[in-house]
């Protein structure tokens, strides 16, 4: 915006006041900007906003009128800029608002910690207590806010609770149920609801703390999850302090059959210490891509020298795949800093095109857990899957939102 400021260098310094102009374009989400008022000309500026479409009569203008005209010019420039919504320009937005403004809307959005849309006021997850098998939906404290941990505490007081469902905030109905009796079927169990607490933005919340025999799944192939060679992207916030080398702590696109159906049947983030093809450098944990029949650190079975371990308490992991030629994986500390591109290039041989089936997996591999059990451990705080191939700008804006959320 540096080019704008020079237009007002001869005008008295503007004041930003709590009033705002809401700018919309088509069906895009609103961008809110402060209304700029200039001392001594406040009402003139506001009334002139109405007269702009009709023009201003030609006449000799007073200094106040010239200042007003300059103010209008400034506002017009700002409107022109904000009228083209970019991923990072909307105030008070959340990850799925950012993805939508970048042209890659969320088709699934999951978190036990916070809302992933700035306007979301619905339920985040469900807990079930052992004393009577009653269930309780846990929602957000405010629109776009943190989870209501106090509601869980009250409901689970004096007994134990598990997390049975993680609800989809995107509106597509892609709710994740645990892979066991009473859930979506299978051989696993639901995760303990109180294994780990944290704060986000100063509000206490609980993570989805996955241990072996815990996993979640959804068949989303008819409810918006990309299939075949359609492009998609995803991210999750996880932890570098609760990991293992068991197969396979994943979040993303998986088989509807819950079987290992061949190369390209999966497209999921893996975060673990697994060194699938050997030759790994260090001990991890690493952000890799589970594309089925292998965890890929880069574009081949050879170890990617650009890989690095992420051992911080909170970690952001991203994956995007255009389905036909290329994919990219990135990682970062979720409390500060920008994303590191670990790989961006061609798909491995045999994975072009992708053959995604459109289920969603969380906490396990794709051939789990119907007849077998999950062996992995990991922590899930939030994540989303999107339709389309997100731009680097969009992913950077999502990372900025995550660091601003205040994970502690």
Annotated catalytic residues are 292, 367
Provide CB contacts within 8 A for 329, sequence distance 6+: 269, 287, 288, 289, 317, 318, 319, 341, 342, 343, 344
Mapping DSSP to helix (H, G, I), strand (E, B) and coil, where does residue 71 land? helix
Written as six digits, the tokens of 400 are 């900025």
| Distances, alpha carbon 371 to alpha carbons 179, 180, 326, 338, in Å | 10, 10, 34, 41
Mapping DSSP to helix (H, G, I), strand (E, B) and coil, where does residue 86 land? coil
Written as six digits, the tokens of 394 are 């969009």
Whether the CB-CB separation of 72 and 64 falls below 8 Å is answered with no
Whether the CB-CB separation of 140 and 124 falls below 8 Å is answered with yes
Mapping DSSP to helix (H, G, I), strand (E, B) and coil, where does residue 378 land? strand
Query: What is the rounded end-to-end Cα distance, in angstroms, of the chain?
Result: 33
Mapping DSSP to helix (H, G, I), strand (E, B) and coil, where does residue 67 land? helix
Q: How many CA atoms lie within 13 A of 264 on its CB side?
A: 19
Q: Where are the alpha helices (DSSP H) in 42-134?
A: 42-51, 63-82, 95-101
Listed residue (321, 336, 315) closest to 289, CA to CA: 321
Listed residue (255, 296, 299, 253) closest to 272, CA to CA: 296
| Distances, alpha carbon 260 to alpha carbons 95, 254, 264, 287, in Å | 31, 9, 10, 21
Q: Give the separation between CA 286 and CA 272, rounded to whole angstroms.
A: 6
Mapping DSSP to helix (H, G, I), strand (E, B) and coil, where does residue 187 land? coil
Give Dmax (Cα) for the chain. Answer: 85
H/E element, 153: helix 149-156
Q: Give the separation between CA 342 and CA 314, rounded to whole angstroms.
A: 18
Q: Give the separation between CA 353 and CA 349, rounded to whole angstroms.
A: 10
């Amino acid at each position: 915006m540096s080019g704008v400021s020079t237009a007002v260098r001869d005008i008295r310094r503007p004041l930003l006041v709590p009033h705002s102009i809401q700018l919309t374009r088509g069906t895009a989400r609103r961008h809110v900007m402060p209304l700029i008022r200039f001392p001594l000309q406040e009402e003139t500026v506001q009334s002139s906003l109405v007269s702009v479409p009709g023009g201003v009569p030609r006449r000799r203008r007073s200094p106040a009128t010239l200042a007003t005209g300059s103010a209008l010019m400034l506002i017009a420039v700002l409107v022109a800029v904000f009228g083209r919504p970019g991923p990072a320009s909307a105030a008070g937005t959340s990850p799925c608002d950012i993805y939508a403004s970048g042209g890659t809307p969320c088709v699934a959005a999951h978190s036990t910690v916070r809302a992933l849309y700035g306007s979301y006021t619905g339920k985040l997850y469900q807990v079930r207590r052992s004393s009577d098998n009653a269930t309780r939906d846990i929602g957000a404290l405010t629109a776009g806010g943190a989870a209501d941990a106090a509601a869980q505490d009250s409901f689970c007081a004096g007994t134990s609770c598990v997390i049975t469902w993680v609800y989809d905030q995107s509106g597509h109905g892609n709710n994740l149920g645990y892979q066991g009796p009473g859930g979506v079927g299978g051989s696993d169990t639901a995760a303990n609801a109180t294994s780990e607490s944290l704060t986000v933005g100063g509000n206490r919340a609980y993570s989805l703390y996955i241990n072996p025999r815990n996993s979640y799944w959804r068949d989303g192939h008819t409810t918006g999850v990309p299939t075949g060679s359609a492009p998609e992207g995803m991210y999750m916030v996880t932890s570098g302090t609760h990991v293992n080398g068991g197969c396979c702590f994943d979040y993303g696109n998986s088989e509807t059959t819950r079987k290992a159906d061949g190369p390209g049947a999966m497209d999921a983030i893996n975060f673990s210490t697994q060194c699938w093809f050997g030759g790994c450098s260090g001990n991890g944990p690493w952000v890799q891509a589970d594309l089925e029949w292998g965890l890929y650190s880069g574009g081949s079975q050879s170890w990617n020298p650009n890989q690095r371990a992420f051992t911080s308490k909170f970690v952001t992991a991203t994956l995007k795949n255009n389905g036909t030629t290329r994919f990219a994986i990135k990682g970062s500390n979720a409390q500060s800093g920008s994303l590191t591109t670990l790989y961006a290039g061609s798909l491995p041989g045999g994975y072009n095109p992708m053959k995604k089936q459109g289920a969603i997996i969380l906490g396990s591999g794709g051939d789990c857990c119907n007849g077998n059990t999950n062996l992995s451990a990991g922590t899930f705080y939030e994540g989303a899957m999107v339709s389309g191939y997100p731009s680097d700008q969009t992913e950077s804006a999502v990372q900025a939102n995550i660091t601003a959320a205040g994970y502690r």
